């Protein structure tokens, strides 16, 4: 990292710390009686950020620090909203954040050192399928989707981990640049999708499907697969509309939420009211009404953020996510090995599609699907696995640099 | 392979550029085109919330008496009405259950203080967490209002009293009325009552104006028939138009009359002749000059008074009926009060208003900055002549029961025939004739002749106002 980049990085870090201090101080003062909990939480958060910063600087020299910086900044914005919405969730989320940063480092190390081992793609597929099967057998239902595992008081969403293993699977099977056996691969992917549909995780199914489609295209350059996949998606969509009542509800609420605001259109209408109330500059932190928005801590946190931070804040968040996608693409372009390229693309596409699907959903650009907004939504699995995903990208980045050094030497 | 792969990665990047741009684009579109609509949506709970947190402003009468206020007890806000039955149709109500009506509806934005707010005020209100709406001071004197209401003695009817020079509404009575304080409990009986107490007759009641409309016919005649006052009309007590016989009132005797006496004794047969001579175009134009067929500007919604389109007037029969305020012509009491006030004010009709001033919690006063001219239906000379005629109506004509001791009153009676029973009794007028301070219009539904039933009410209201002002 050259000194100019270093200076930009440090300035960004300072800006982030400043935003954090001001926001949490405001939340401390605004809550009556005076409560220092948010402030201590913020200190804990910044502590983790700095530890992560020094640790990556020590163990993983020349990391792509912007991955950690941008994701931490987004996590901080999410924490600010959570602290304001529900202090209990906030406390837990700070802990999740710390675990997430740890996973970032672990994933980086894993990819950098252990990926040299030749693991067969079939193994990743089995892991993915098992992860998705487990909750169906032993899981509990939360928010309409049966994709949670619970071990006394501690819940985990295996599908979040499955996103990572699925990306590994795709990169593994496609690293030769062609599909060895189309029926077999189609079968494997459809089984994964089937498990997600069975768990009623339609957002997840959509995400896995489009990620697979795009990675297949990148690997094979076959536009006909892309077209076929797109057509199939439309068929699935129409079938889903007629077969599943909850798909129908979602699509109708998207087409015209005002037809039935108290019923079907409720969620999306409340989300849109919040964004409308925010206007360009927002109501200001603590002055909006997130309590009117359903699932505000998880799926709809973006709407609450847009209400209090306005269009400008919301646009800034979208741009930050975009920068993360950009970093992922940048890493993919630097890599030499096909498997590595596909792995970077897989993670980036999975991540980027997730952002687009949930933000597009809450602003009514596309139908709402119940998935989380990485780093901002409340939830341990989402937070930890999003960081792990960034860690994988970082590990690939380190690998790219190393390979370049080897070439020079 | 590698170069193709890298090209595809770049394509993926382009795809994401597109997707994220569409997010930003849609957010921008939303802010520009959708936002305002959603903020004002009745489904938006933020609106209700805002209302809950704001203490609704107080409504005062012209002398500072409280008519409606919001009191807070144990953190619960309650709207308390102290105007009584006379004020129900004016003040209306603001209720979670029933919604809002009349002034509570029309002035909602002011009472909540949410109309025309700058963002800083909004922010300050939100930060401080408490806020108060604006107080509203009306032009109505509640003593006059109560007196006028009692004079109706629950008979269906309406009264409008104005200051003819400024347009300030001094009394706005609709009988039978209701008490805003008990409207929630009595809703079922009020809404089903055949006398429709919830309706503000003064503004929404459309009645044939009967002979009071002869003021308009006379205005048109004075302007278009040069020798009108020099003429003598001979009448047998009725007139026949295309086979239709229009009679004079029973008390009217056949004989020779000049226009002044014909007006004073309210001769239908002579005014039909005058109307036919004026012609439908000119009569129609004059009615429009007086504000017929046009939305009447006022803080509360007023039904539009109608004079039939002259092109649609079938024949002379319709014109004959229109000349004496019968047929398809209808007017609100507010409209007829304005006709009287235009004559009183030398031919100038000012816009009526009921809100004297609005005071914000910070003490800023948004006043009603003087009067605004709405129409100028007749010139000063014609107005003076009509005034003279109207004085004669009260001194020696059909309006004698509107006389007030020591004060010269100008007026015109009307007994409007209608399909629902006895005639509607009308009286419009003003006093004192030489320097008018109050103009009134009174209608008592299906009561009989205007001189007997409406004129005394008008006289009592004017007398009280002029002596106690």
pLDDT tier at A1, thresholds 50, 70, 90: low
Name the least confident of A77-81, A171-175, A263-267, B388-392.
Answer: A263-267
pTM for the structure as a whole? 0.65
CA neighbor of B330 nearest in space, from B213, B451, B244, B436: B213
Decide: residue A221, CB within 10 A, 0-12 exposed, 13-18 middle, 19+ buried.
middle
Using a CB–CB cutoff of 8 Å, tell me whether A352 touches chain B.
yes
| B58, B136 Cβ separation under 8 angstroms | yes
For the domain spanning B144-178+193-353+375-468, the CATH number is 3.40.710.10
Instruction: For residue A238, give Cα distances in angstroms to A232, A235, B108, B445.
Output: 10, 5, 48, 65
Exposure string for B199-218, b = 16+ CB within 10 A, e = fewer? bbbbbbbbbbbbbbbbbbbb
pLDDT tier at B350, thresholds 50, 70, 90: very high
Q: What is the pLDDT of residues A366-389, one digit of tens each?
A: 998 888 999 999 989 999 999 999
CA R_g for chain A: 21
Residue range B108-129: mean pLDDT, rounded: 68
Cβ-based contacts of B6 with chain A (< 8 Å): 333, 341
| B267, B235 Cβ separation under 8 angstroms | yes
How far is A188 from chain B, CA to nearest CA, in Å?
A: 23
Out of B16, B31, B49, closest to residue A289 by CB? B49
pLDDT tier at B130, thresholds 50, 70, 90: low
Q: What is the pLDDT of residues B384-434, one digit of tens each?
A: 999 999 999 999 999 999 999 999 999 999 999 888 889 999 999 998 999
Chain A residue with the nearest C-alpha to that of B122: A283
3-state DSSP assignment of residue B100: strand
Which residues have CB under 8 Å from B235's CB, separation 6+?
B248, B254, B255, B257, B267, B269, B270
| Lookup result for tokens 């129908």 | A248
C-alpha–C-alpha distance, residues A151 and A166, integer Å:
24
What does pLDDT average to over chain A?
88
According to the model, what pLDDT value does residue B314 have?
65
**DSSP sequence for A256-290:** -GGGGTTTTTHHHHHHHHHHHHHTTT-S-TT-S-G
Q: What length is written for chain A?
A: 409
- Quick one: CA dihedral B459, B461, B467, B469, positive or negative? negative
According to the model, what pLDDT value does residue B124 have?
67
Q: What is the pLDDT of residues A68-103, one digit of tens each?
A: 999 999 999 999 999 989 888 999 999 999 999 999
Q: What is the pLDDT of residues A11-24, one digit of tens each?
A: 988 998 899 888 88
Using a CB–CB cutoff of 8 Å, tell me whether A230 touches chain B.
no
Q: What share of chain A is helix, strand, coil (3-state, %, to 5)?
A: 75, 5, 20
CA neighbor of A103 nearest in space, from A164, A39, A13, A42: A164
Which among B20, B37, B114 is the top mutation candidate for probing chain A, defined by the most A β-carbons within 10 Å of its own β-carbon?
Answer: B20
| Lookup result for tokens 């047998």 | B236
C-alpha–C-alpha distance, residues A86 and A5, integer Å:
37
Q: Say if the Cβ atoms of A333 and B44 lie within 8 Å.
A: no
Which among A337, A365, A400 is the top mutation candidate for probing chain B, defined by the most B β-carbons within 10 Å of its own β-carbon?
Answer: A365
Q: Say if the Cβ atoms of B16 and A315 lie within 8 Å.
A: no
Q: Which of A3-12, A222-231, B438-447 has the highest mean pLDDT?
A: B438-447
Q: Say if the Cβ atoms of B34 and A276 lie within 8 Å.
A: yes
Residue range A142-163: mean pLDDT, rounded: 76
Cis peptide before A191 (omega within 30 of 0): no
According to the model, what pLDDT value does residue B301 have?
93
Using a CB–CB cutoff of 8 Å, tell me whether A206 touches chain B.
no
Name the least confident of A4-13, A254-263, A267-276, B211-220.
Answer: A254-263
Which residues have CB under 8 Å from B352's CB, separation 6+?
B162, B167, B168, B169, B296, B297, B298, B334, B337, B338
C-alpha–C-alpha distance, residues A118 and A355, integer Å:
31
| Share above pLDDT 70 across residues of chain B, in percent, rounded to a whole number | 94
Out of B26, B41, B123, closest to residue A365 by CB? B26
Which residues have CB under 8 Å from A5's CB, separation 6+?
none
Q: What is the pLDDT of residues B276-325, one digit of tens each?
A: 999 888 999 999 999 999 999 999 999 999 998 866 666 788 888 888 99
Per the rule left: phi > 0, alpha: psi between -120 and 50, beta: everything else, A242 is alpha
Question: Residue A403: is its pLDDT beyond 90?
Answer: no
Name the least confident of A54-63, A129-138, A247-256, B108-117.
Answer: B108-117
């Amino acid at each position: 990292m050259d000194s100019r980049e270093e200076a930009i990085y440090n300035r960004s870090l300072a800006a982030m710390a400043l935003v954090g201090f001001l926001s949490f101080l405001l939340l401390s003062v605004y809550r009556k009686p005076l409560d220092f909990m948010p402030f201590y939480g913020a200190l804990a958060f910044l502590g983790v950020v700095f530890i992560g910063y020094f640790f990556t600087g020590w163990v993983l020299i020349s990391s792509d620090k912007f991955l950690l910086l941008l994701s931490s900044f987004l996590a901080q914005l999410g924490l600010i909203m959570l602290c304001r919405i529900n202090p209990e969730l906030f406390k837990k989320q700070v802990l999740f954040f710390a675990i997430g940063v740890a996973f970032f480092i672990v994933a980086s190390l894993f990819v950098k050192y252990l990926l040299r081992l030749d693991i067969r793609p079939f193994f990743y597929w089995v892991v993915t399928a098992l992860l998705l099967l487990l909750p169906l057998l032993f899981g509990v239902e939360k928010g309409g989707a049966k994709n949670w595992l619970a071990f006394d008081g501690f819940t985990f969403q295996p599908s979040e981990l499955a996103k990572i293993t699925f990306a590994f699977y795709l990169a593994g099977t496609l690293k030769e640049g062609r599909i060895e056996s189309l029926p077999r691969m189609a079968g494997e992917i459809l089984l994964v999708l089937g498990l997600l549909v069975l768990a009623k995780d339609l957002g997840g199914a959509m995400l896995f499907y489009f990620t697979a489609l795009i990675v297949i295209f990148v690997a094979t350059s076959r536009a006909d697969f892309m077209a076929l996949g797109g057509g199939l998606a439309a068929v699935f969509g129409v079938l889903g509309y007629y077969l599943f009542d909850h798909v129908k509800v979602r699509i109708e609420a998207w087409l015209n939420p005002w037809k039935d605001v108290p019923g079907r259109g409720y969620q999306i209408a409340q989300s849109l009211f919040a964004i409308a109330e925010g206007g360009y500059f927002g109501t200001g932190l603590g002055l909006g009404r997130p309590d009117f928005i359903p699932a505000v801590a998880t799926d709809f946190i973006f709407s609450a953020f847009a209400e209090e931070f306005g269009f400008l804040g919301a646009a800034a968040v979208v741009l930050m996510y975009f920068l993360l996608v950009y970093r992922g693409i940048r890493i993919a372009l630097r890599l030499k090995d096909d498997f590595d390229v596909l792995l970077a693309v897989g993670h980036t596409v999975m991540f980027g599609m997730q952002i687009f699907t949930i933000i597009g959903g809450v602003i009514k650009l596309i139908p709402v699907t119940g998935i989380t907004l990485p780093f901002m939504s409340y939830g341990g699995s989402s937070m930890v696995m999003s960081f792990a995903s960034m860690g994988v990208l970082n590990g690939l980045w380190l690998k790219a640099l190393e390979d370049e050094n080897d070439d020079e030497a | 392979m590698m170069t193709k792969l890298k090209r595809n990665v770049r394509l993926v990047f382009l795809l994401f550029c597109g997707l994220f741009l569409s997010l930003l684009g849609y957010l921008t579109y939303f802010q520009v085109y959708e936002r305002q609509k959603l903020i004002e949506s009745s489904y938006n709970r933020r609106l209700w919330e805002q209302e809950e947190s704001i203490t609704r402003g107080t409504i005062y009468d012209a002398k500072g008496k409280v008519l409606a206020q919001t009191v807070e007890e144990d953190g619960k806000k309650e709207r308390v009405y102290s105007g009584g039955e006379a004020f129900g149709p004016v003040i209306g109500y603001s209720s979670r259950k029933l919604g809002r009506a009349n002034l509570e509806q029309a002035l909602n934005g002011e009472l909540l203080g949410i109309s025309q707010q700058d963002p800083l005020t909004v922010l300050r209100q939100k930060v401080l967490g408490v806020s108060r709406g604006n107080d509203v001071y009306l032009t109505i004197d509640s003593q006059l209002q109560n007196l006028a209401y009692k004079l109706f003695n629950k008979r269906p009817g309406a009264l409008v009293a104005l200051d003819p020079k400024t347009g300030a509404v001094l009394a706005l009575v609709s009988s039978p009325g209701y008490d805003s304080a008990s409207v929630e409990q009595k809703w079922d009986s009020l809404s089903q009552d055949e006398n429709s107490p919830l309706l503000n007759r003064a503004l929404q009641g459309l009645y044939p104006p009967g002979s009071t409309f002869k003021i308009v016919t006379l205005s048109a005649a004075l302007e278009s028939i040069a020798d009108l006052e020099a003429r003598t009309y001979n009448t047998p007590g009725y007139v026949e138009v295309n086979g239709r016989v229009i009679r004079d009132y029973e008390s009217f005797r056949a004989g020779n009359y000049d226009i002044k006496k014909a007006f004073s004794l309210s001769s239908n047969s002579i005014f039909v002749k005058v109307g036919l001579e004026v012609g439908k175009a000119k009569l129609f134009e004059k009615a429009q000059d007086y504000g017929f067929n046009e939305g009447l500007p006022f803080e509360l919604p007023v039904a539009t008074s109608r004079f039939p389109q002259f092109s649609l007037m079938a024949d002379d029969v319709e014109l004959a009926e229109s000349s004496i305020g019968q047929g398809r012509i209808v007017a609100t009491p507010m409209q007829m009060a304005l006709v009287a006030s235009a004559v009183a004010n030398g031919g100038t009709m000012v816009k009526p208003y009921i809100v004297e001033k609005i005071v914000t919690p910070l003490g800023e006063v948004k006043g009603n900055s003087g009067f605004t001219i709405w129409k100028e239906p007749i010139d000063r000379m014609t107005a003076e002549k009509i005034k003279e005629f109207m004085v004669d109506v009260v001194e020696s004509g059909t309006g004698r029961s509107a006389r007030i001791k020591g004060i010269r009153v100008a007026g015109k009676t009307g007994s409007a025939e209608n399909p629902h029973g006895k005639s509607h009794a009308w009286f419009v007028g003003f006093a004192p004739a030489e320097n008018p301070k109050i103009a009134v219009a009174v209608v008592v539904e299906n009561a009989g002749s205007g001189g007997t039933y409406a004129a005394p009410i008008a006289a009592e209201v004017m007398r009280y106002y002029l002596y106690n002002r």
